[in-house]
C-alpha cells in the first residue's frame, strides 16, 4: 500500500468505528466499519488519507453517493447513507462474497456454466436497471463485481454518469468499451 490507511479503532465518522481496512484504490480507501446506529458491520468508502484536501475526489465520492441513493436493485450494492464530512464517507451494505477478479486470479475452482449463467443474468439485470435510470457504469470489470451466495452484485459507481461525452481515459483500459 502506497498510503497508510487509518488504524483499526479510529472513528471514521460519528457513529462509525474502523474494524479493518479492506482495499485502497487510486483515490479511495474502503473500510470494514461498525455502525452504532445499525448495530452491525458496514462498508465505508472515503478519500485516501493523502487526498483528504482534494475537492475533486470528495465531489466525485458525493456524486457517487447521490447516484446510489435512489437505487434499489438486488444486484447493485446498497447505499445506507452519505456522511458529508469532512471527510465525505459512503456507508454501504457489507458483502461477504468474493470479487470475480479474486475468483479468477485465485483459481479457487472452475465456475460451473450454470453459475456463470446465473451471474451473467444478474449482471444483465443490474446493467438494464442502471441504464433505465440513465446511468452508465463505465468501469464494469471483475474487481467491481462480487459473487455472494450465487448472486452477483455490482460495486463502485465512482465514474458512472449519464450517456454523453465521457471524461477521456475514464475506466480501466482492459475493460473499456471501444466507444470509451
Name the average pLDDT for the chain: 88
pLDDT for 134 equals 93
Nearest to 135 by CA among 162, 166, 170, 158: 162
pLDDT for 63 equals 93
pLDDT for 133 equals 95
Do 11-92 and 98-175 show the same overall fold?
no
Which of helix, strand or coil describes residue 4?
coil
Average pLDDT over residues 137-155: 92
Question: Above pLDDT 70, what percent of the chain?
Answer: 89
Neighbours of 123 (CB within 10 A): 17
Residue 31's pLDDT band, with cuts at 50, 70 and 90, is: very high
Is pLDDT at 44 greater than 70 in this prediction?
Answer: yes
Three-class secondary structure assignment of 69-86: HCCCCCCECCEEEEECCC
**Domain boundaries, given as residue ranges, for the chain:** 11-92, 98-175
Residue 129 C-alpha cell reads as 436497471
Residue 43's pLDDT band, with cuts at 50, 70 and 90, is: very high
pLDDT for 112 equals 81
Architecture of the domain spanning 98-175: Orthogonal Bundle (1.10)
Is pLDDT at 142 greater than 70 in this prediction?
Answer: yes
68-72, 84-88, 103-107: least confidently modelled range: 103-107
Q: What are all long-range contacts of 99-107, with beta carbons under 8 Å and residues at least 24 apart?
A: 99/142, 99/143, 99/144, 99/145, 99/146, 99/147, 100/142, 100/143, 100/145, 100/146, 100/147, 100/152, 101/141, 101/142, 101/143, 102/143, 103/142, 103/147, 104/142
- Tell which CATH classification among 1.10.3720.10, 3.40.50.720, 3.30.200.20, 3.20.20.70 matches the domain 11-92: 3.30.200.20
Residue 78's pLDDT band, with cuts at 50, 70 and 90, is: very high
**pLDDT tens profile 91-134:** 999 998 888 888 887 766 677 889 889 999 999 999 999 999 99
- What lies within 8 Å, CB to CB, of 156 at 6+ separation is 139, 144
Amino acid at each position: 500500500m502506497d498510503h497508510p490507511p487509518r488504524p483499526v479503532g479510529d472513528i471514521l465518522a460519528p457513529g462509525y468505528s474502523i474494524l479493518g481496512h479492506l482495499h485502497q484504490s487510486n483515490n479511495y480507501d474502503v473500510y470494514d466499519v461498525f455502525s452504532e446506529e445499525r448495530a452491525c458491520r458496514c462498508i465505508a468508502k472515503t478519500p485516501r488519507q493523502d487526498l483528504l484536501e482534494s475537492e475533486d475526489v470528495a465531489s466525485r465520492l458525493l456524486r457517487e453517493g447521490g447516484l446510489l441513493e435512489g437505487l434499489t436493485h438486488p444486484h447493485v450494492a446498497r447505499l445506507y447513507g452519505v456522511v458529508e464530512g469532512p471527510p465525505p464517507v459512503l456507508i454501504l451494505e457489507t458483502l461477504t462474497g468474493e470479487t470475480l477478479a479474486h475468483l479468477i486470479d485465485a483459481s479457487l475452482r472452475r465456475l460451473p456454466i450454470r453459475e456463470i449463467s446465473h451471474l451473467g443474468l444478474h449482471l444483465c439485470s443490474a446493467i438494464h436497471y442502471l441504464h433505465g435510470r440513465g446511468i452508465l457504469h463505465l468501469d464494469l470489470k471483475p474487481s467491481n463485481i462480487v459473487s455472494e451466495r450465487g448472486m452477483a452484485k455490482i460495486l463502485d459507481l465512482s465514474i458512472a454518469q449519464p450517456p454523453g461525452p465521457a471524461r477521456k481515459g475514464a475506466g480501466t483500459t482492459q475493460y473499456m468499451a471501444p466507444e470509451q
